[in-house]
Amino acid sequence: MQPEQLKGLLEQVKNNDITVDEAVERLRHLPYEDLGFACVDHHRQIRRGFPEVIYCPGKTAEQIVEIFSSLARKGNNVLATRAEAEVFEALAQTGRFPQARYEKAARAIVLEQKKLEPSKSVLPIVTAGTADLPVATEAKVTAEIMGQRTELICDVGVAGLHRLLGQLEKLQKANVIIVVAGMEGALASVVGGLVSCPVVAVPTSVGYGASFEGLSALLTMLNSCAAGVAVVNIDSGFSAAVTATLISKKIEQKSN
Amino acid sequence: MQPEQLKGLLEQVKNNDITVDEAVERLRHLPYEDLGFACVDHHRQIRRGFPEVIYCPGKTAEQIVEIFSSLARKGNNVLATRAEAEVFEALAQTGRFPQARYEKAARAIVLEQKKLEPSKSVLPIVTAGTADLPVATEAKVTAEIMGQRTELICDVGVAGLHRLLGQLEKLQKANVIIVVAGMEGALASVVGGLVSCPVVAVPTSVGYGASFEGLSALLTMLNSCAAGVAVVNIDSGFSAAVTATLISKKIEQKSN
Amino acid sequence: MQPEQLKGLLEQVKNNDITVDEAVERLRHLPYEDLGFACVDHHRQIRRGFPEVIYCPGKTAEQIVEIFSSLARKGNNVLATRAEAEVFEALAQTGRFPQARYEKAARAIVLEQKKLEPSKSVLPIVTAGTADLPVATEAKVTAEIMGQRTELICDVGVAGLHRLLGQLEKLQKANVIIVVAGMEGALASVVGGLVSCPVVAVPTSVGYGASFEGLSALLTMLNSCAAGVAVVNIDSGFSAAVTATLISKKIEQKSN
Amino acid sequence: MQPEQLKGLLEQVKNNDITVDEAVERLRHLPYEDLGFACVDHHRQIRRGFPEVIYCPGKTAEQIVEIFSSLARKGNNVLATRAEAEVFEALAQTGRFPQARYEKAARAIVLEQKKLEPSKSVLPIVTAGTADLPVATEAKVTAEIMGQRTELICDVGVAGLHRLLGQLEKLQKANVIIVVAGMEGALASVVGGLVSCPVVAVPTSVGYGASFEGLSALLTMLNSCAAGVAVVNIDSGFSAAVTATLISKKIEQKSN
Amino acid sequence: MQPEQLKGLLEQVKNNDITVDEAVERLRHLPYEDLGFACVDHHRQIRRGFPEVIYCPGKTAEQIVEIFSSLARKGNNVLATRAEAEVFEALAQTGRFPQARYEKAARAIVLEQKKLEPSKSVLPIVTAGTADLPVATEAKVTAEIMGQRTELICDVGVAGLHRLLGQLEKLQKANVIIVVAGMEGALASVVGGLVSCPVVAVPTSVGYGASFEGLSALLTMLNSCAAGVAVVNIDSGFSAAVTATLISKKIEQKSN
Amino acid sequence: MQPEQLKGLLEQVKNNDITVDEAVERLRHLPYEDLGFACVDHHRQIRRGFPEVIYCPGKTAEQIVEIFSSLARKGNNVLATRAEAEVFEALAQTGRFPQARYEKAARAIVLEQKKLEPSKSVLPIVTAGTADLPVATEAKVTAEIMGQRTELICDVGVAGLHRLLGQLEKLQKANVIIVVAGMEGALASVVGGLVSCPVVAVPTSVGYGASFEGLSALLTMLNSCAAGVAVVNIDSGFSAAVTATLISKKIEQKSN
Amino acid sequence: MQPEQLKGLLEQVKNNDITVDEAVERLRHLPYEDLGFACVDHHRQIRRGFPEVIYCPGKTAEQIVEIFSSLARKGNNVLATRAEAEVFEALAQTGRFPQARYEKAARAIVLEQKKLEPSKSVLPIVTAGTADLPVATEAKVTAEIMGQRTELICDVGVAGLHRLLGQLEKLQKANVIIVVAGMEGALASVVGGLVSCPVVAVPTSVGYGASFEGLSALLTMLNSCAAGVAVVNIDSGFSAAVTATLISKKIEQKSN
Amino acid sequence: MQPEQLKGLLEQVKNNDITVDEAVERLRHLPYEDLGFACVDHHRQIRRGFPEVIYCPGKTAEQIVEIFSSLARKGNNVLATRAEAEVFEALAQTGRFPQARYEKAARAIVLEQKKLEPSKSVLPIVTAGTADLPVATEAKVTAEIMGQRTELICDVGVAGLHRLLGQLEKLQKANVIIVVAGMEGALASVVGGLVSCPVVAVPTSVGYGASFEGLSALLTMLNSCAAGVAVVNIDSGFSAAVTATLISKKIEQKSN
C-alpha cells in the first residue's frame, strides 16, 4: 500500500523472485495478524512510528490478553488504556508478562520490553485542577512508552493565574505543550496566548452540571481566541500524548 | 399585592374611605395600562426601581410607538432595546418625542426626560474583543438610563493577557463588573479570579462555527472555576446592565 | 501581579533591600503552595476575600486530606464541597481536625477555626421544592463559612403562588436573594419580578425526563423576562453563595 | 376503516346492493381526492370533527390554490396557515373565492362559507408578551373557524404578576385555556397553578440567544410543576387551537 | 388571592369582624402548612380540584413521611409518585396508614381514605409496547385516585397496525385518550388521526441508543401531523393523567 | 387489512358463509393474541416475512416468558434481544423450551424449532474494532434465525486500512454488507466507496467522551459521502440484520 | 486497488509488457482526472455501478461547469444536485450540452446521453405531505438517471391513514420503497410495518419549530419500531435513491 | 509579564536607569495600543512568533481600517480574515495600502510588506471535496503570510480512496498535514492512519441536513480512531494554519 513497498514488490515479481500469486497474497495478508475477533496491526510501528495500542472498554479480558500477547510477541512495548484492575489481574495470572505493570491513576497497563532512547526535550503536561490528574497521567504514560520525557505541572487553573505565571519559563522553552482542563477549560487559551509553540488541549469531564460531561471545556478549547491550540477528544490523554509526541519526534528527528 | 399596599387599602376600607368594590377594582386595574395588545406595567418603577423596558423584536412599529407613548406619559425615562432604525424613524415621525435619540451601535432608542442623580461608582464594562461592542454598548445605554455611570474597557481578551493586567487597578476598585465575551468566553473566569467583587458575565454570539451562536461562551461562563461569576442570556447586554445596576444601587443606597 | 504589590517589590529592589533574583523568585513562588498534585492558592483570601475551596469529585481521599491540611495550616476556615462520607471519615481518622464537621445534606466538610463577624443582613435562600434542599444547603453552608447569615425558605414553587406571597416581606427587605429551582425553574422569574434587589438563580437537576438533568431550569433562568436575574451552574449552590455573599459584603463594607 | 362504515358496506355486499369489487374500490378510493401532488382528505371532517387544513410552507402557490379549491368545493370552511401574502394574492387572482380573507398578523387565509353555531363558552388565549401575538392570533383564527369563540388576553407575563391576577376571574371560569409564551415560558406554570381546567401551552420562538428558537420555553412548559399543562409544538398556535377546541366541543356536546 | 375570597375578607374587615392585621395574617398563612423543609399546599384541592401530590425523588424518606402525614390529616386521598420500595416501608413502619398500598409497577404509594364518585366515562390509556407499562400504570393510578375510571390498552404500536384498529371502537367513544409510547412515538399521531377527541401523549424513555432517553418520542409527538395531540413530560404518566382527568371532569361536570 | 384478505372475507360474506358480525369480529380479533400486557402479533410472519421479536428492556421476566411462550406455540423460531442472563434463567426454569439457548455476547435468547433453508448468499458483518463485537453478534444471531448465512469480519477499522483491503474480494461479492463501527464511524464510508452493493451501517456507542454515546458515529454515517449507505439506530445490530436480510431475501427470491 | 486489476497489472509487469515504473504510474494516475480544484473519479462507474455525481453547494459555477464537462466527456449520464438556476444557466451558456435539462422541483441538472435499459421493477417513492415533494423529486431524478423506473405516491401521511391503505397493493409488490417524511416522520414506521421489503427512509426538514430542521423526523425513523427501515441524511433524496437503486439492481441482476 | 523582560526591567530599576513609576507604567502600557474600541497587541509578534490577525465579523469597516493601520505601521505583514469585499473596498479607498490584496476565495485581506524567508518544508493542505476549498484557501493564505510554503491537494475524499493513495508519497514526506473535510469528515482518520506526522483536522460546515453545520465532521475528527489527529474549530482554516505553521517552525528552527 505504500508506494515504496509496492515498487519493491513489483521489482521482485519482474525478476521472478516471487510469483504473481505470492505477491498478491503478501499484499493482502502480511501486515496484520487475524485473531478472529481482532486484526492486530503489526505494521503500525513502521507506518506511524508507534505500535498499536489496546483500548480496553468493550473488550473481554480474554480478548485483551490475546491481543496483548500478539503485540508483545513482536518485541515492542505494549500499552493498554482504560484497563480495569481485573484486566491487569487476568494478564498477571497468565504469568507470561512479569514486567508488565498497572498504572492505577491512568488505568493503563504498560509493558516496556524495549528500551527507547529518551527524548531530549521534555513535554509539559499542564492541568487546571487536581481532578484532571487521571487524564494527565494517561497522557504521561502514553508519551513515555513512546520515549518522550514529560513533566506534570498540576493545578494551575485560571482562578489563580499567578500559579501559572510561576511556571512560565518552563512552558516557553517547550516544543509543544499538553493542557488538560475540565470545567470551563479556559486554561488552554491562556497558555496558548503566552507561548510560541503549539498547544494540544484535552477537555475533561470534570465539573458541575452544565459542564455536560466535558462538552463545555471542549467547546471552549475549540473556540480558543488564541490560535495555535488544537483539540483532542474529551478525557483522551492518550490521543493528546500521541499527537504531542509525534510533533516532538519530528523536531528531534530533523535537528539531528 | 405588596403587603404595605394591601394593608393601606384595607385601612381605607375599614375607615369607609372607599367601598369594598372600589378596593377590589383598584387592586385589579390600577398598576398597569391595557393597550389591547400590551399591558404596560407602570408599577414596575416602584416595585423594581426601574421602569418597564420595550423589547422590540416581534412587535410592530405601531405597537412600539404606542407602548413608548404610554411609558413616556408617566414622565419616566424610556428605553427600547433591539430596535431597528425603521422603528426609530416611525417614532420620530410622530413628532412627539423630540428628545428621543437612537443609539445605533446598541440598537436602542433612549428618551431621557427625567435627570437621574448619577451614581458615585463607575461600572466597568469589559469586552474580550471589538466584535463584542454592540452588546457592551447595549449594557452601557441601559445602565446609564438607570443613572449608573459606566466605563467601557474594550478588547482585552485572554489571547493577550497583558492588556487586561494594564486595567487591573480600575477593575479592583469596582463594586461589580460586567464582562462581555464571545468565542470561548474565558475572560470572565480570568477577571473573576483577579477581583473581590461579583462579576456579571454576558456570553456573545461572536465566533467561528463551534461557538454555536454563543453556546460555547455561555457554557464556559457557567462553568467558571472562579466563583463569584453569574451569567445572563447570550448577547443580553440589557440584562447584565440591570443586574449590575441593581447591585450597585443597593451598595450606594446603604452607604448613604 | 497586583499593581500595589509589584510597586512595593520594585521599591525594595531599588533600595537594595532585596536582589533582583530574589524579587523574581518572590513573584513566582510566594502566593501558593505546590503539593505536587495541587497548587494551593493561599493568596486567594487576600485577592478575592475568601479562601480557596476544595471541590472533591475526581480527587482521591489522600489528596483531599493534604489540601485540607495545607489550607487549615493558614488558620483560615476550610470548606470542602461535594464530599462523600468516606472522605470525611478519612479526614477524621487523621485526628488533626477535631472541629471539622460533615454537613450531610450539603455533602460538605466544614472547619470553622476563625470566628468571622456575622453579617448584618440575612440572605434568603428560596427553593421551589423540597428536592432542591441539598443544593440550597450547599449554598447555606458556603455563605455561612464566609460570615454571611442566611435563612432558608423552602418549597414555595409557582404551583402554589400564595406560599411565595406569604414570604414577600422578607424577600423585599433583602440585599440579594438566591433562588434554587429545578423542573421548569420558573420561580426565579417570579421572584425577580417582585423585588428590587438582584437575584442569583441556581438551576437544579431535579425533574422528570425532559428536564435533561437541569438544562430546562437553566434555560428558563437565562431567559428570565424579569431582568436582574443572573444564573450560576446547575446544582451549584456553592457558586450562588459566593456570588451572593460578595454582593452582600460590598454593601455592608460601603455602608460602614 | 371505521367499524360503522365497514359494517354498512358489508351489509350492502350481503344484500347484493354492490358487488365485492365495488366495495373494495369504495374502501380504497372514496374518502380522499388525489390531485397528484396531494391527497385531500375530505373524510377528515367526519372522522375528526374539523376539515383538513393547508400548511403552506414548502408548497408552491399553484399547489395551494388547487388544494384550497378542492376543499372549498365541498362547502366547508377552509383554512390555510403560514401563508405568505403572495399566496393570498395568487388565490385572489383566481377570482373564485371572493369571500376569502387574509389575516395578516396570523399569516392565515380564511374562507368562511358555512356559518357554524358559535360555541357557548369563550376560550381565553393568554400571551406573556406582545411579541407572542402572531402565534396567539393563529390560534384565534383557527379556533374561530371551528366555531369556538375566543378572547385574547395579552402581555400578562410573570415579570408583572399583578397583570395576570387582574384577569384571574375570567381564567377561572374557562373550560380550557391556551397560554402562549416565549423567553422562559413560565406563564404556563403560573396559570396552571391558579385554575382547575386544563391548560394548553404553546412555546414561542421569541427571545434572546439562549431561548434557542423556542427550546427554552418548550422545556419549561414540559417540566411545568403545575400538573394539567400539556404542550404543543413551538409557535404552533394552530395545534393549540385544535386541541383546545376539541376539548371545548366535547364539553358542550355532553352538556346538551 | 382568589377574587371571591379577597372580597369576602374585605367585607369582614369593613364590618369589623376582623382587624386589618388579622386579615393580612390570614391572607399570608392560611392556605399552606410550613413543615420547615416543605410548604404543604392544602389549598390546592379547592383551587385545582385535586390535592397536592408528593414527587419523591430528591426527598428523604423522613421528609416524605411527614408530608404524607400532613396531607393525610386533611382526610384527602394521598398519592406519592416515583417512590422506591424503601419509602413505602418507612411509611408502613409508622403504623399510621394501614390502608396505604404500594403500586409496584407504577412505583406509587396510594392512600384512599375518601371514596370519590367514580366517573361515568372511561379513560383509555394506550401503550405502544409492553415496556411502556410502568408509565401507563402511573397514569392509571393517578387518574383513579382522582376518581377517573380507566382502561389499559397495551402493546398496540404501529409495527402491527391491526392491533390498534381492533380497539378503534373504544377509542372513538372516549372523551380524551392517553397515548404512551417510546422509541419513535408514532402511535400518538396515528391515534390522533383516527379520533375526534383530544389526545394527551406521553413520550417514554424506552428505546435503543438514538431514542436519547425519550427525546425521539418527545419530538415526534410535538411534531405530530395530527392536530389535537398535546404532550407532557417524558415518562410522566402522572402529568398525563392529571391533564386528561381535568378534561374529563369538565365534561362530566357540564353534562350534569 | 390486506386487500386480498379483505376481498376474501367480503366474498364469504356475500356467499353467506359467515355473517356480517362474524366478519367484523374476524377483522378485529384474528391476527394477534392479547395477553393483557402484550398483543402478540402472530400475523407478522405472513405480512413481513419474519416473526415478532421480543425486545426485553422494560419488560419483567414473567412478561417475557409469557410472550416467548405465545410465539413459540405457533411453531416459529423465537428471538429475544437485549436479554439479561436472569431472563434466560427464568425461561430455562419453566422447562418448556429445552432447545432455547442464550447467546451471551449478543445478549440474545434463541429458539430454533423450525429449520429454515439456509440462504445461498453470505452476509458480511464488518466491524471497525473488537469492542463493536456485541452489536455485530446481535446482527449475526438475528440474521441467522431468519435463515441468512453470515460471516463476521472483525477489527478492520480505518486506522489500518490494509486490514480492510485484505478482505476486499469478499466484500465485493456480497449482495449487501453490514458495517458496525463506533468512535468516528468512518468505516461505513470507506466500505461504501469500494463496493457496488448497498451498505447497512450501525453506529455503536463505543468511544471516548465526545462520541456522546454513539452520536458521533451516527452523524458520520448519515453524512457519508459514499452514497448507498443507509443507517439504523445506535447499537441496533438487530435492526441492521433485519434490513440486510430483507434485501438479501428479495434477491434470492427473484433469482429463483 | 481492486484485486483483479492489481493481479492483471502484476501479470503485465511479469511479462515485461510494461515497466515497473509504468505500472506504478498507472496505479496512481489512471482512475481519476485532476482538475486542480477537483479530482473527478471516472473509475466510480466501474467500481460502484454509477458515475460520480456533482453536489453543487460550495462550488462556484465555473468549477461545476468544468467537472460537468469532465464527466460528460466519458459519455456517461451526468447529474448535478442542489443546483441553483444560475448554475444551469452558466452551463447552458457554454452551448456544449444542448441535451442537458434543469429539473426545477428537484434543483437538479440532468444530462442523459446514454440510454440505460429501464429497470423491470418500479420503485415507489412515498411522501407524507406535499411539502416533501422537492426531496422526493430529487430521489426520482437520481433513480431514473441510474435506469430505475419510479412512481411518486404523494401526501399519504398518517393523519389520514386510509390514503395510505389505498396504495397498499402497490407497496406490497415493491422490491424496496422510499419513504419521504418531515414533521414527526411516522410514515416510515407505518409503511415498514405493512410490507415485507426493506424501506429506505428520508427525513425532511419540513415542519414547525420543534422539528428542528429535520432532527425530529430523523430520530423517529432511526427509532422505528418496525424493523427493516434504514435511514439516510435529512433531505437527501439523492442518497435514498442511490441506496434503493443499488438494492433494486442487485435483485434484477440476480434474477436474470 | 515574561520572566526575561521582567528581570531586565528590574535590573534597569536597580541601576536607576528608570524610576519605579516609569517601570510600572512601562509594564502596563507598552505592549499594546489602545484605539478605544480595540487594544492592538503589538507584542504578539515577539511572544507568539506571528502578529495579531484581524477577525472581521462584528467589526465595522471603520474599525477594521483603523486596526489594520495600527498593525501596518509596525512594518509587519497584516492579515484580516472573514473580510467581506466591502471591507477591502473601504481599505482601498484610503489609498494607504496599495500593496494590500483581497483573496476572494478565502475572504482574506493580505498585506505583505516584509518578505519572510520561505520555509524549507511544504505544508500539504488536503481537502475532501471541492466545496471545502474556501476553508482550505484561508489556511493557505494564513500559512503563507507566516512564511510557510503550502500545497493544496483537493477533492481526495474517501468515496474514491485511490485519489488519496495517489498522493501518498507527498503526504508521507510532510512534517505536518492539514486535512479539511465536511460531511462525515472521515478523511482525517484515513490520512492519520497512513502517515507518521501529526494531522491538524478542520471540520467544515459543508453537507446535507444532518451535518448540522459542521457538527458531524467535528465529532468524527475528535473521535478519530487514528491517534495523532488534533482538531480546530469548524471552518477555521486560519486556526489550522497557525497550529501547523507553529509546528513546522519549531522543526525548522531546531534543525538549523
Across E92-116, b (16+ Cβ under 10 Å) vs e yields eeeeebeebebbeebbbbbbeeeee
How confident is the model at residue A244, as a pLDDT? Answer: 97
* pLDDT tens, residue by residue, C96-147: 999 999 999 999 999 999 888 899 999 999 999 999 999 999 999 999 999 9
Nearest to H225 among F128, F224, F227 (CB): F128
| G11/G81: higher pLDDT | G81
**pLDDT exceeds cutoff 80 at C208:** yes
Contact B164, B156 (CB under 8 A): yes
Determine, for residues B10 and E13 on separate chains, whether the beta-carbon distance falls below 8 Å: yes
**pLDDT exceeds cutoff 60 at H28:** no
Three cell numbers at F234?
445506535
Task: Compute the average pLDDT of residues H68-95.
Answer: 93
| A48/C150: higher pLDDT | C150
Contact F172, G2 (CB under 8 A): yes
- Measured between beta carbons, the chain F residues lying within 8 angstroms of D11 are 20
Give residue for cell 397496525.
E161
| B177/D20: higher pLDDT | B177
How confident is the model at residue G75, as a pLDDT? Answer: 86
Average pLDDT in chain A: 87
Q: Is the dihedral of CA C189, C195, C201, C203 positive or negative?
A: negative
How confident is the model at residue E30, as a pLDDT? Answer: 46
Across-strand partners of E152? Answer: E125
Q: Is A122 exposed, middle or buried (0-12, 13-18, 19+ CB in 10 A)?
A: middle
* pLDDT tens, residue by residue, D171-193: 989 999 999 999 989 999 999 98
User: Rounded distance, CA B20 to CA E14, Å?
Assistant: 8
pLDDT band at H26 (very low <50, low <70, confident <90, very high): low
Strands A108-111 and A149-153: unpaired
Determine, for residues H58 and B131 on separate chains, whether the beta-carbon distance falls below 8 Å: yes
* pLDDT tens, residue by residue, A221-246: 999 888 899 999 999 999 999 999 99
Give how far E11 is from chain F: nearest CA, Å.
58
Kindly report which listed range (C121-125, D24-28, G180-184) carries the lowest average pLDDT score. D24-28
Question: Of all residues in chain C, what percent carry a pLDDT higher than 90?
Answer: 60
pLDDT band at B28 (very low <50, low <70, confident <90, very high): very low
**pLDDT exceeds cutoff 80 at E213:** yes
Determine, for residues G216 and E222 on separate chains, whether the beta-carbon distance falls below 8 Å: yes
Most A CBs within 10 Å: which of G11, G14, G24, as the mutation test of the A interface?
A: G14
**pLDDT exceeds cutoff 90 at E237:** yes
* pLDDT tens, residue by residue, D120-149: 999 999 999 999 999 999 999 999 999 999
Residues of H with CB under 8 A from a CB of C: 3, 6-7, 10-11, 13-14, 16, 20, 23-24, 27-28
Nearest to E13 among B13, B27, B28 (CB): B13
User: Rounded distance, CA B193 to CA C50, Å?
Assistant: 11
Highest average pLDDT, of B48-57, D86-95, G30-39, H72-81, comes from D86-95
Kindly report which listed range (C14-23, F53-62, G171-180) carries the lowest average pLDDT score. C14-23
How confident is the model at residue F152, as a pLDDT? Answer: 95
| F52/D83: higher pLDDT | D83
For H181, nearest residue in chain F (alpha carbons): F225
pLDDT band at F145 (very low <50, low <70, confident <90, very high): very high
How confident is the model at residue B21, as a pLDDT? Answer: 64
What letter represents residue H90's amino acid? A
User: Rounded distance, CA G254 to CA B239, Å?
Assistant: 68
pLDDT band at E253 (very low <50, low <70, confident <90, very high): confident
Task: Compute the average pLDDT of residues F82-101.
Answer: 95
Average pLDDT in chain F: 87
How confident is the model at residue A5, as a pLDDT? Answer: 61
User: Rounded distance, CA H14 to CA C21, Å?
Assistant: 11
User: Rounded distance, CA A196 to CA B51, Å?
Assistant: 51
Most A CBs within 10 Å: which of B155, B183, B189, as the mutation test of the A interface?
A: B189
* pLDDT tens, residue by residue, D38-73: 878 777 776 777 778 999 999 999 999 999 999 998
How confident is the model at residue A9, as a pLDDT? Answer: 67
Task: Record the pTM.
Answer: 0.89
| F85/C225: higher pLDDT | F85
Give residue for cell 365485492.
D20
How confident is the model at residue B90, as a pLDDT? Answer: 96
DSSP string, A2-16: -HHHHHHHHHHHHTT
Residues of A with CB under 8 A from a CB of C: 129-134, 154-156, 159-163, 165-166, 182, 206-211
Angle between helices F3-14 and F20-29 (to 10 degrees): 160
What letter represents residue C198's amino acid? P
DSSP string, B59-106: S-HHHHHHHHHHHHTTT--EEEES--HHHHHHHHHT-S-TT-EEETTT
| A247/C172: higher pLDDT | A247
Give how far E256 is from chain D: nearest CA, Å.
7
User: Rounded distance, CA A195 to CA A228, Å?
Assistant: 9
pLDDT band at B1 (very low <50, low <70, confident <90, very high): very low
**pLDDT exceeds cutoff 60 at A193:** yes
* pLDDT tens, residue by residue, C235-254: 999 999 999 999 999 988 86
**pLDDT exceeds cutoff 70 at H23:** no
Determine, for residues D215 and C217 on separate chains, whether the beta-carbon distance falls below 8 Å: no
Give how far C155 is from chain D: nearest CA, Å.
12
Determine, for residues C38 and A130 on separate chains, whether the beta-carbon distance falls below 8 Å: yes
**pLDDT exceeds cutoff 90 at A59:** yes
Across-strand partners of A78? Answer: A111
Nearest to F196 among G47, G176, G200 (CB): G47
How confident is the model at residue A60, as a pLDDT? Answer: 94
pLDDT band at E221 (very low <50, low <70, confident <90, very high): very high
Nearest to C131 among E27, E57, E234 (CB): E57
Nearest to G219 among E157, E159, E210 (CB): E210
How confident is the model at residue D30, as a pLDDT? Answer: 45
* pLDDT tens, residue by residue, G41-65: 777 776 777 778 999 999 999 999 9
Beginning with the edge strand found earlier in the chain, give each strand of the sheet holding B122-127 in spatial order.
B149-153, B122-127, B177-181, B199-203, B229-231, C229-231, C199-203, C177-181, C122-127, C149-153
Task: Compute the average pLDDT of residues A77-90.
Answer: 95
**3-state SS class at E55:** strand
**pLDDT exceeds cutoff 60 at H106:** yes
* pLDDT tens, residue by residue, E61-99: 999 999 999 999 888 899 999 999 999 999 999 999 999
pLDDT band at E20 (very low <50, low <70, confident <90, very high): low
- Measured between beta carbons, the chain F residues lying within 8 angstroms of G200 are 230
D–B contact (≥3 CB pairs within 8 Å)? yes
Q: Is G21 exposed, middle or buried (0-12, 13-18, 19+ CB in 10 A)?
A: exposed
Determine, for residues H24 and C6 on separate chains, whether the beta-carbon distance falls below 8 Å: yes
pLDDT band at C255 (very low <50, low <70, confident <90, very high): low
Most G CBs within 10 Å: which of E158, E162, E218, E234, as the mutation test of the G interface?
A: E158
* pLDDT tens, residue by residue, F192-247: 988 889 999 999 999 888 888 899 999 999 998 888 999 999 999 999 999 999 99
* pLDDT tens, residue by residue, G107-155: 999 999 988 889 999 999 999 999 999 999 999 999 999 999 999 999 9
Q: What share of chain H is helix, strand, coil (3-state, %, to 5)?
A: 45, 15, 40
Task: Compute the average pLDDT of residues C10-32.
Answer: 64
* pLDDT tens, residue by residue, A104-128: 999 999 999 988 889 999 999 999 9
DSSP single-letter state for residue A18: S
What stretches of F130-254 show up as alpha helix (H) in DSSP? 133-145, 161-165, 168-173, 187-192, 215-222, 237-254
**pLDDT exceeds cutoff 90 at B46:** no
**pLDDT exceeds cutoff 60 at D3:** no
How confident is the model at residue F1, as a pLDDT? Answer: 41
User: Rounded distance, CA G72 to CA G100, Å?
Assistant: 10
DSSP string, H215-243: HHHHHHHHT-SSTTEEE--TT-HHHHHHH
User: Rounded distance, CA H113 to CA H101, Å?
Assistant: 11
Three cell numbers at C21?
533574583
Beginning with the edge strand found earlier in the chain, give each strand of the sheet holding H108-111 in spatial order.
H54-55, H78-81, H108-111, H101-103
Across D138-170, b (16+ Cβ under 10 Å) vs e yields bbbbbbbbbbbebebbbbbbbbbbbbbbbbbee
How confident is the model at residue H255, as a pLDDT? Answer: 61
* pLDDT tens, residue by residue, G224-245: 888 899 999 999 999 999 999 9
Across-strand partners of A150? Answer: A123
User: Residue H250: how many CB atoms within 10 A of its CB?
Assistant: 26
Give residue for cell 505541572.
A153
Give how far C203 is from chain E: nearest CA, Å.
14
Residues of H with CB under 8 A from a CB of B: 1, 28-29, 31-32, 36-39, 41, 43-44, 52, 55, 57-59, 63, 67, 203, 205, 213-215, 218, 233-236, 239
- Measured between beta carbons, the chain A residues lying within 8 angstroms of B224 are 183-184
User: Residue H75: how many CB atoms within 10 A of its CB?
Assistant: 9
pLDDT band at H205 (very low <50, low <70, confident <90, very high): very high
How confident is the model at residue A85, as a pLDDT? Answer: 96
How confident is the model at residue C76, as a pLDDT? Answer: 84
Question: Of all residues in chain B, what percent carry a pLDDT higher than 70?
Answer: 88
For D216, nearest residue in chain B (alpha carbons): B233
Determine, for residues B24 and E10 on separate chains, whether the beta-carbon distance falls below 8 Å: yes
Determine, for residues F246 and G1 on separate chains, whether the beta-carbon distance falls below 8 Å: no
* pLDDT tens, residue by residue, D84-105: 999 999 999 999 999 999 999 9
DSSP single-letter state for residue D197: S
Beginning with the edge strand found earlier in the chain, give each strand of the sheet holding A177-181 in spatial order.
A149-153, A122-127, A177-181, A199-203, A229-231, H229-231, H199-203, H177-181, H122-127, H149-153
Most C CBs within 10 Å: which of D164, D196, D223, as the mutation test of the C interface?
A: D223
From the list D178, D137, D181, D140, the residue with the least C-alpha distance to D158 is: D181
User: Residue B80: how many CB atoms within 10 A of its CB?
Assistant: 25
Task: Compute the average pLDDT of residues G78-91.
Answer: 96
Three-class DSSP labels, A22-59: HHHHHHHHCCCEECCCCEECCCHHHHHCCCCCEECCCC
pLDDT band at E3 (very low <50, low <70, confident <90, very high): very low
**pLDDT exceeds cutoff 70 at C189:** yes
Strands G149-153 and G122-127: parallel
Contact B126, B103 (CB under 8 A): no
DSSP single-letter state for residue E118: P
| Residues ≥6 apart with Cβ < 8 Å to A4 | none
| H162/E239: higher pLDDT | E239
Task: Compute the average pLDDT of residues H200-221.
Answer: 92
How confident is the model at residue D46, as a pLDDT? Answer: 66
Give how far A234 is from chain H: nearest CA, Å.
8
